[in-house]
Homo-oligomer: A and B are copies of this chain.
Amino acid sequence: MPETELLVCIKCRRGIDTPGESRRPGKVLADAVAGQLPEGVRLVEVECMSNCERGCSVALRGPDRWTFVYGNLTEADAALVVEGAGLYAAQPDGLVPWRERPEHFKRNCIARIPPFTLPEAPE
């Protein structure tokens, strides 16, 4: 199975006024999923994915796969993020059939981006 990545924005405040030194909600979510991820999924902590108004944010991606960005997450959603990452990793192109996706993913997809294909002959 190709390597896939779960990106978690660890700078996200989720609209909460967090004191300067405390862990932000995005980092709490990252810590909550760390160690639980399915085989073949690597956690990558990211500083800002520019989805601040609808954070916390995660993204799933990998070579030759669609990239999906999901939002409106909290640390209470760690289990569904782990589940969604496993379903994503199990599909060669990352396209999980709609009805199999976690309910939160169905309603909170921020964007999706097709696999990268280098042009054969740029004009």
Which residues of A approach B to under 8 Å, CB–CB?
Answer: 3, 5, 7, 40, 42, 44, 46, 48-51, 57, 59, 61, 63, 67-69, 109-114, 116, 118-119, 122
Contacts and interface: CB of A to CB of B under 8 A. Distances in A.
B113 A113 contact: yes
Contacts of A112: 48-50
A108 to B, nearest CB: 10
A46 B111 contact: no
A7 B42 CA distance: 27
A96 to B, nearest CB: 13
Contact of A111 (B42, B44, B63, B69): B69
Contacts of A57: 111
